[in-house]
Structure 1
Amino acid sequence: MATTSASPFAYHVFLSFRGQDTRKTFTDHLYTALVQAGFQTFRDKDSIERGKYLNLELSKAIKESRISIVVLSKNYASSTWCLNELVPILECNKSRGAAVLPIFYDVEPSDVRKQEGSFKKAFEKYENEVEAERDPDRKMELAERVKGWKAALRQVADLTGMVLKNEADGHESKFIKKIVEVVGDKMKRTVLNDAPHLIGIDLRATDINSWLQDGSNDVGIVAICGIGGIGKTTIAKYLYNLNFERFEGSSFLASIREVSGQPDGLVRLQRQLLSDILKGKKEKIYNADQGIVRVKEALRCRKVLVVLDDVDQVDQLDAVLGMRDWLYPGSKIIITTRRKQLLKASEVDTVDEVVGMHHTESLELFSWYAFGQDHPIEGYMDYSKRVVHYCDGLPLALQVLGSSLSGESIDVWESALKKLESIPEGEILKKLKISYDSLQDDHDKNLFLNIACLFVGKDKDWTITILDGCGFYTKIGIHNLIDRYLLTVGQRDNKLWMHHLIQDMGREIVRQESTEEPGGRSRLWQQEAFNVLSGKTVRIIYLMSTSMALLLISLKMLDLSHSHGLVSDILDFSLVPNLERLVLKHCINLIEVPESIGVLQRLVLLNLKGCQNLRKLPTTIHRLKSLDKLILSGCSKLYDLDNTKAPTLTQLGLIADFGFKWKSNT
């Protein structure tokens, strides 16, 4: 059993006892049994580092324990230390619901409740000390303290406990075994905090859960993969809580990517793994190589369940776990990662790719965070559906936006939704940006930004041709982006796709390059590209045309699809003389293509598909010596000018149903 930083509890069990009565006998055996059962157990001086102030550490340990076991022996009440410890234990029981299990070791519950027998003798001494006190304030303080101790003993005696003489015929070993079983029941055998609303988790975890419970002696490794925020860690925690009891040892190593990047991070992970597997025993490890040897020794002799959460580098696996042949028969390893190809196929039994939530699940999850129930409240259904559509099945986004909109008015919701259209939510982007930041070099980062801004929905092979011509190693770059779930390729249409929140993240990175002046950004698309080229920021465009990034990308490939401005009136193509591909699809206000297009001597593609109000081609079109493809499908009002050097549509040549192709012979 293991603890995790996700849990508010540092210990499973806090042991309260009188040392002179039972430290070296009953309590020692009980402590050992609890630790061997996998419970992280606090036992006063054994669990406190040297130099720590004892009272403060004890108080902290009580608050950070899920259950307190109070061993009430004959002389328990004669220890003011024990009585002072009992009071906060019961306060935590009342305020936080922390469990308390009283153990009546050779004493009767009635003696504790009524302070009779040895308990009576102890309190007679305390009351005599109160009477003997001369200082009025001190006397009152002592009297209140004794009164509190009596109340605490009555309270603990009224709790459901276990009496040695009534259990297992008084045999201590059997009695201890039953205590461990009761502790397990009180804990409900859950050691990691699950997400509060596990919607659809059973379906997503079914296959791996069956694999964990198959009872085989095969060593198994499963990788749970997917984009950030899709629920990989949530699934892993759920599976761990259901199955850790089936193994001789278990450990959940959270946030490996983050921890391993810190000083001695890998060594810390190795220490935690060993401590978890060895039931709390602390191993001295001074470097990762030494840790590998110790981990190897520990894993070879017991069947374990280990979860390695958020792994993104192979060396993290090697340092923390190593190869499959280390593992004892029947051991199981679960790895969560944003990298699909982190492990070779020969090293993994299954790669489980987590998919997004469907609409009904998304609406339910969002509603729990926004409204505290499984459906939207009256008047908010349409707005909720818009948010759910924006989140596109990503649990992280549903949780973040649900929490941020909870309790807000309709006006705030409307404003928030409009803002999301222009500026994505920061907390969501921060989580998603981890995958971008983990890319191995600037080449892959720039490639990702180019695709996010300009090539989503475009043919993969066509994109490779374009970007290879701009100096990119596009095939390997796309491979690396797919590995980190930043990009997918349609199996049927061969087009590049990414989750729209991933695309928003990429475009937001570019937007942050110059939030006030779009012309200062390295990449432009759609309406902002139109605004810049319309002359509104001519000075900045001139500066941009000399920058390598825009010269190679934005000024070679310009996509102004669906622009609603009067393109024919204000576009000046002389600002972008190196343009190779120009897309003006569905620009419904485009009446004529500007004559300045004639300067584009390198233009290979001109796409005017769906420009339904386009009436004529420019007279300068015959100057486009490199033009290879002209797409005019859907340009129903187009007619040819007479008495110009422009080619006729017959000369252009019809291609199937989608457009026209023309080779200049001039």
Structure 2
Amino acid sequence: MATQTPSSSTNSEDTKKRKRDNSSCSEEDEKIITSFSPSSSTPRCKHDVFLSFCGKDTRRSFTDHLYFDLKRKGILVFRDDESLERGKCISQELPQAIQESQYAIVIFSANYASSKWCLRELAEIVEWEKKKNLTIIPIFYHVDPSDVRNQRGSFAEAFAAHEKDPKVDIKETNTWRNACTKVGNLAGEHIKGDRHESTIIQQISGMIFYNYPMLNILIHDNQKFVGINSRVEEMMNLLHMESNDVRFVGIHGMGGVGKTTLAQLIYGRVSCQFEGSSFISCIRERSTTARDLASLQKELLSTIMQEKIRVYNHHQGNGMIMKMLQNKRVFIVLDDVDRDEQLTTLAGDRKWFGPGSRVIITGRDSHLLIRNRVNGICEVQLLQTADALQLFSLSAFDKTNPPENYKDLSMDFVSYAGGLPLALKVLGRFLFGRTIDLWRSARDKLGAIPKTEIFDILKISFDGLEESQKKLFLDLACFCYISFSGEIYPAIDLEVLVDKSLVSKSDLMHDLLKRMGQEIVLMHDLLKEMGQEIVRREDPEEPGRRSRLCRREDVFHVLEKDTGTDAIECISLYFDLPDEAKHRFNINAKAFSKMRKLRFLHFKLRFLRFEHFQSYINWRGNPLKYMPSDKLQFLNWPNCPSKSWPSSFQPKGLVELRMRRSRFKRLWKGLMVD
């Protein structure tokens, strides 16, 4: 048969199949194949896998199933009848395809050795295995491996026929024999009558998928991945892969802590063990409308079924998911879920999926996971200091440890990030390649204005809160005190903040505080900074028009210059005298008169003696006399300069009053409020 060109045949696909199946090629083709030798330079890999097989034995059975399973996993496969370009010389392209592959899967079957075409492929594969990093995987398809390596049985008959062929010289035959012996001695898969082919196909494609270079880059973020082993182990225990039930598992944690990365790792590790898999990312931002939900359903079905699926609305999509997947063992990741309807449209019921299926759900709201009855939740924790330093160093220096002259500076940034992987990576990338002077400058400005990338991701959780919950979060972020009173805030609002990983409760003095109706509430420093930045952006220029004042310079600016407005709801001031005092502060007590919505006033002034108060702060007038009191709930004012409680000051809603070391002789006579 002549070499195929566009003008010599109207059906190049049939020609390719006959070439392999009938082992026929032109003298020109034979000359090209036998004379081809690898060059000294290794070409760039174009394919992941090269399939060598005898067409009439396995083309429409085992080879076809293996080919499509590899493709389904995103692995690039060369199979001659699928991959050869029409009009190209077949014998030239096949050796090149072998060179450009990372794996060669050789499927030995009864008629494999009868094909000179297959044997020449095999010899080429063995030749390239010596010269580059080509991995050979032999599959013995209903043939004994010893028959291959020793040329017995059908292989002995085939070689006897080749040796009688005048067109094949003894040197070439010996090359084929050596290739069969070498590959026949490699560890591979032996398919016999008592083994399920589908299981073997899953094992082969899984092995290649695990070692897929692009997957490793995706998962390990160029090796900048630290402190994950214990979380992966916890997730594998929760998934309980040995059981045949349908399991939903949640991954929970604050923004930027690494939930998606953990889900990607697990997906890369186990998805190839399932009949179908799908990773639906960024669900929160991609599902604002009903049409968006239908689009996500379409993506879910299309990736699992490996064909284009049409979903016209999400109600129809629910039925389609159940109908198409209820008998299929699938692995699904639903990433960044923040509403119930997202789950009800993508994974509404365990009955939608076949036995052994697994669904991972990542999100910031633990209660959403609980109320949707997940089988278990993995809470992703912040990194410990050693791991945090390693991750920061990898991002900033491409090394696991910082250079000696950068160690102290690196620890400053690690301390600032507080174990949050997102912040460690963002700061490390920002500082990469910069001089030590610029590092010092960046350190000195830390906290002034948060890095946009960190701020935006953390703020997602805040944006999803109700107004009363936002109010509580901003109060906690801006104020120095750490106790939480259920009389001031609805208890359910605190629980929501805990569920969304915005705050946590401490067990410190838990019993005592519980009797007092209070909780110790903890917040990550970057979340505090984010909350304070939200308040600063209410009016970047004038602090008096913001809802909360917690920075010392802002408080004194408003009280000295009398720039307060009715926007101010809360004031918190921590001031340590005399060490931090640079000048005498003259504060106008009338500045409080404009703060008609003031509900929280917390002064923490640390004086060794009362005289320090008089020396550094001069109150012009009695502040309580001018302070609107009808909305005031919390008042903490040690060393208050007032000597008397003005009759005009009637805080009807006051819940907490702390006036240590004040100069009051008496607060009031009788009942303050009738």
Q: TM-score, length-normalised on structure 2?
A: 0.68
Question: Alignment partner for residue 484 of structure 1, among 492, 500, 508?
Answer: 500
Q: Which residue of 2 is the match for residue 500 of structure 1?
A: 525
Q: Is the 8 A contact 1:114 1:154 kept in 2?
A: yes
Correspondence 1:256 to 2:283: yes
1:67-216 paired onto structure 2 within 5 Å: 67-71=76-80, 79-80=87-88, 93=100, 99=102, 101=104, 106-108=115-117, 111=120, 168=143, 182-188=204-210, 193-195=218-220, 196-213=223-240, 215-216=242-243
Q: Is the 8 A contact 1:341 1:483 kept in 2?
A: yes
Question: Alignment partner for residue 587 of structure 2, among 538, 558, 571?
Answer: 571
1:340-355 paired onto structure 2 within 5 Å: 340-345=366-371, 347-355=373-381
Quick one: distance in 2 between partners of 1:182 and 1:523? 61
Q: Which residue of 2 is the match for residue 415 of structure 1?
A: 441
CA displacement at 1:71 relative to structure 2: 3.0
1:436-455 paired onto structure 2 within 5 Å: 436-439=462-465, 441-454=466-479
Q: Which residue of 2 is the match for residue 519 of structure 1?
A: 544
Quick one: distance in 2 between partners of 1:431 and 1:365? 19
Quick one: distance in 1 between partners of 2:431 and 2:136? 46
Q: Is the 8 A contact 2:252 2:259 kept in 1?
A: yes
Deviation larger for 178-187 or 216-225: 178-187
Deviation larger for 505-514 or 98-107: 98-107
Q: What secondary structure does 1:37 align onto?
A: helix
Quick one: distance in 1 between partners of 2:89 and 2:365? 53
1:72 and 1:37, CA in 2 relative to 1: closer, same or farther beyond 3 A? closer
State the aligned residue count. 539
Q: What secondary structure does 2:284 align onto?
A: helix
Q: What secondary structure does 1:535 align onto?
A: helix
Question: Alignment partner for residue 583 of structure 1, among 576, 587, 602?
Answer: 602
Q: Is the 8 A contact 1:12 1:40 kept in 2?
A: no
CA displacement at 1:319 relative to structure 2: 0.7
Quick one: distance in 1 between partners of 2:141 and 2:283? 48
1:535 and 1:387, CA in 2 relative to 1: closer, same or farther beyond 3 A? same
Q: Is the 8 A contact 2:251 2:379 kept in 1?
A: yes
Q: Which residue of 1 is the match for residue 252 of structure 2?
A: 225
Deviation larger for 561-570 or 453-462: 561-570
Q: What secondary structure does 2:335 align onto?
A: strand
Q: What secondary structure does 1:311 align onto?
A: coil
Which amino acid is the alignment partner of residue 461 of structure 1? G
Q: Is the 8 A contact 2:244 2:356 kept in 1?
A: yes
CA displacement at 1:399 relative to structure 2: 1.1
Which whole-Å deviations, capped at 9, do the CAs of 1:107-137 have from their partners, x for residues lacking one?
Answer: 447756999xxxxxxxxxxxxxxxxxxxxxx
Quick one: distance in 1 between partners of 2:140 and 2:227? 48
Which whole-Å deviations, capped at 9, do the CAs of 1:509-535 have from their partners, x for residues lacking one?
Answer: 222233233334332213143233243
CA displacement at 1:447 relative to structure 2: 4.2
Q: Is the 8 A contact 1:533 1:575 kept in 2?
A: yes
Q: Is the 8 A contact 2:335 2:363 kept in 1?
A: yes
Which amino acid is the alignment partner of residue 602 of structure 2? V
Q: Which residue of 2 is the match for residue 33 of structure 1?
A: 65
Which amino acid is the alignment partner of residue 315 of structure 1? E
Q: Which residue of 2 is the match for residue 49 of structure 1?
A: none
Percent of residue pairs bearing the same amino acid type: 29
Cα RMSD, aligned residues only: 4.3
Quick one: distance in 2 between partners of 1:165 and 1:78? 31
Q: Which residue of 1 is the match for residue 392 of structure 2?
A: 366
Which amino acid is the alignment partner of residue 509 of structure 1? I
1:31 and 1:255, CA in 2 relative to 1: closer, same or farther beyond 3 A? farther
1:448 and 1:100, CA in 2 relative to 1: closer, same or farther beyond 3 A? same
Which whole-Å deviations, capped at 9, do the CAs of 1:202-243 have from their partners, x for residues lacking one?
Answer: 212323212324522333222111111111112222222332
Which amino acid is the alignment partner of residue 283 of structure 1? I
Which whole-Å deviations, capped at 9, do the CAs of 1:119-167 have from their partners, x for residues lacking one?
Answer: xxxxxxxxxxxxxxxxxxxxxxxxxxxxxxxxx9997997666799999
Q: Is the 8 A contact 1:70 1:100 kept in 2?
A: no
Quick one: distance in 2 between partners of 1:415 and 1:371? 18
Segments of structure 1 that go 5 or more residues without pairing to the other structure are 1-10, 42-64, 116-151, 465-473, 641-646, 653-661
Which whole-Å deviations, capped at 9, do the CAs of 1:597-628 have from their partners, x for residues lacking one?
Answer: 2424555765344x6xxxx9445655574488
Q: What secondary structure does 1:421 align onto?
A: coil
Question: Alignment partner for residue 274 of structure 1, among 297, 301, 307?
Answer: 301
Q: Which residue of 2 is the match for residue 378 of structure 1?
A: 404
1:626 and 1:259, CA in 2 relative to 1: closer, same or farther beyond 3 A? closer
Quick one: distance in 2 between partners of 1:358 and 1:663? 52
Which amino acid is the alignment partner of residue 301 of structure 1? N
Q: Which residue of 1 is the match for residue 333 of structure 2?
A: 307
Quick one: distance in 2 between partners of 1:206 and 1:187? 20
Segments of structure 2 that go 5 or more residues without pairing to the other structure are 1-45, 145-153, 156-188, 514-518
Q: Is the 8 A contact 1:220 1:331 kept in 2?
A: yes
Q: What secondary structure does 1:269 align onto?
A: helix
1:624-663 paired onto structure 2 within 5 Å: 625-626=649-650, 631=658, 633=660, 647=664, 651-652=665-666, 662-663=667-668
Which amino acid is the alignment partner of residue 255 of structure 1? C
Quick one: distance in 2 between partners of 1:461 and 1:417? 38
Quick one: distance in 2 between partners of 1:324 and 1:182? 29
Q: Is the 8 A contact 2:367 2:499 kept in 1?
A: yes
Quick one: distance in 2 between partners of 1:512 and 1:364? 34
Quick one: distance in 1 between partners of 2:201 and 2:265? 26
CA displacement at 1:303 relative to structure 2: 2.8
Which amino acid is the alignment partner of residue 255 of structure 2? G
Quick one: distance in 2 between partners of 1:624 and 1:287? 63
Q: Which residue of 1 is the match for residue 33 of structure 2?
A: none
1:258 and 1:86, CA in 2 relative to 1: closer, same or farther beyond 3 A? farther
Q: Is the 8 A contact 2:318 2:346 kept in 1?
A: yes
Q: Which residue of 1 is the match for residue 34 of structure 2?
A: none
Question: Alignment partner for residue 316 of structure 1, among 335, 342, 355?
Answer: 342
